[in-house]
Structure 1
Amino acid sequence: MKRILPPLLFGLIGAAILVALGTWQLQRLDWKRGILSEIETTISGPAQPLPTLISPAEQKYQPVELTGTIADDALFVLVSAKRIGAGWRVISPFTTTEGRTLLLDRGFIPVAQKAAPARPEPVTITGNLHWPDDRNSSTPDNDVAKNTWFARDINQMSEVLKTEPLLVIARSMTPPDPGLTLMPVDTAGIPNDHMQYAITWFSLAVVWLLMTGAFLWRRSKED
């Protein structure tokens, strides 16, 4: 019994730790679902006026409805759309009827169609304020000279297009923007892998117990 007790305790304690980690991931899953639900509620909420004081933490995903015109300039951000392939997000200056000029994410065009005409006639935009986090350690620097962007760096884009550092991602446009496919903001790009992590920890706990049982069985045979 003295020979069995240490590995038995080691196996049970190890399995308990793994189960605890899996349970913690399930708790994180509930927390993340709550966060995603709040974001979705915000995204689809009633339109609010454009803020005069910018606070990304408080205004991210804020719904807005704007009427104005789209200028001729456009920046092109290289992206990939599901079931479509490579293409560009088109970012243009949008001047509201109140005289404010900001960045407008007009949507997606195929990679071979690097053009986006101006919209001098009034258009009404329903969309969301956003401060996207497109950049990571492997993201190339934006090639401003060739108008090839790899991340929606709002400050840099606003400097190039001479706009306020505000980005609205269009959810709808009236009349529609010919040739562009809207890419509205949603929660699809926000990772929520806690269920996979929980399954991994619980699976490791089962394997740990099986290995402990096999070890104890072999030791009992030796005795």
Structure 2
Amino acid sequence: MTETGTVASKATGRDAAHPPSWLAVLSLTAIALLIALGGWQIERRAWKLALIDRVEQRVHAPAQPIPSPAAWPTVSAANDEYRHVSVSGRFLHDRETLAQAVTEEGPGYWVLTPLRRDDGTLVLVNRGFVPSDRRDASTRWDGNPQGQVEITGLLRVTEPKGGFLRNNVPEHNRWYSRDVAAIATARGLDHVAPFFIDADARSQSGSGPIGGLTVISFPNNHLIYALTWFALAFMLAGKLFVTFGGGLFRRKEPWSGFAHEAAGGLDAVARRTGSDAGTIGEPT
């Protein structure tokens, strides 16, 4: 091998030992993204804890009258859902709607009944749960109060369109969510509040629907997610350091541009001396 070929070979070997710069840029971008995702999960955790605290305060506060009709356009989940409220009026039992439900009592239906207030406005009340064998209203007449009643419960925002992978079908009277506007249209109701009330257990009467089954649950796994993103960023940063920075701590061997030739050639005369000199051959 010639001296020029040897030098080129060594240079190529040194270049191959160093990964391309674009890989470093890509890795740094990924690390920044993972750290950002971890920080976002920390923010989400703070938001979720504040939400849980806010809902707990609403649920356990004394019952207050529902918002007035003038305030209905401003009712929202963030500001009003799960408020402990009260409302009085008369039920329109002939306009009730059944929405499919699965509760701790098993599968069945929510019984949604309009309540007409003294001012003529209507509020949809989820009176509670009935099993499938009591779907027919004739099986629970003694549980349907006929006079003036006062209902306490939790204010809930409407659930439009339907449930998971199931759309409401009003024309066939199939309901998978408590869509206030669609139910009001299907039952020919006017001046209906844009929310409904989940009645509590104290509102139950006779063999009527079982109230007080509202499930309030807010999964809070954001800390686990944040730690996962941060751990991935740390591992990727470690890999990046080993790949691009590990050589800084390795002993570098001296390199010579002179070729070591086998004995017998015209160029086999030693070009240098020392412990690492090439073979010295006699010219022929």
Offset at 1:140?
A: 3.5
After superposition, the C-alpha distances for 1:92-123 in whole angstroms (9 at most, x for unaligned) are 12234565432111111223331344321443
The 1:159/1:134 distance shift into structure 2, 3 A limit, reads closer
Once the two structures are superposed, the pairs formed by residues 162-177 of structure 1 within 5 Å of their partners are 162-166=189-193, 167-174=196-203, 176=205
CA distance in 1, matches of 2:162, 2:226: 26
Residue equivalent to 2:134: 113
User: Partner letter of residue 61 of structure 1?
Assistant: Y
User: Partner letter of residue 197 of structure 2?
Assistant: V
Residue equivalent to 2:178: 152
Once the two structures are superposed, the pairs formed by residues 135-214 of structure 1 within 5 Å of their partners are 135=161, 139-161=165-187, 162-166=189-193, 167-174=196-203, 176=205, 178-183=207-212, 185=214, 187-188=216-217, 190=218, 192-209=220-237, 211-212=239-240
TM-score by length of 2: 0.61
Q: CA RMSD in A?
A: 3.7
After superposition, the C-alpha distances for 1:162-218 in whole angstroms (9 at most, x for unaligned) are 253222221243453525222555541x55442343133124224424544675699
The 3-state SS of whatever aligns with 1:155 is helix
Structure number, greater radius of gyration: 2
User: Partner letter of residue 33 of structure 1?
Assistant: L
Asked if 2 retains the 8 angstrom alpha-carbon contact of 1:28 and 1:194, the reply is: yes
Residue equivalent to 1:52: 69
**Where in structure 1 are there 5+ consecutive unaligned residues?**
none
The 3-state SS of whatever aligns with 2:150 is strand
Asked if 2 retains the 8 angstrom alpha-carbon contact of 1:62 and 1:129, the reply is: yes
Residue equivalent to 1:18: 34
Residue equivalent to 2:155: 129
After superposition, the C-alpha distances for 1:125-182 in whole angstroms (9 at most, x for unaligned) are 1113221335469643323344320121111212333253222221243453525222
Residue equivalent to 1:104: 125
The 1:160/1:215 distance shift into structure 2, 3 A limit, reads same
Asked if 2 retains the 8 angstrom alpha-carbon contact of 1:102 and 1:163, the reply is: no
TM-score by length of 1: 0.75
Asked if 1 retains the 8 angstrom alpha-carbon contact of 2:111 and 2:130, the reply is: yes
User: Partner letter of residue 106 of structure 2?
Assistant: G
Identity of aligned residues (%): 24
Deviates more, 1:170-179 or 1:43-52: 170-179
Structure with the higher fraction of residues in strand conformation: 1
The 1:112/1:214 distance shift into structure 2, 3 A limit, reads farther
The 1:89/1:14 distance shift into structure 2, 3 A limit, reads same
Q: Which has the higher contact order (CA 8 A, sep 6+)?
A: 1
**Where in structure 2 are there 5+ consecutive unaligned residues?**
1-13, 253-284
Residue equivalent to 1:75: 97
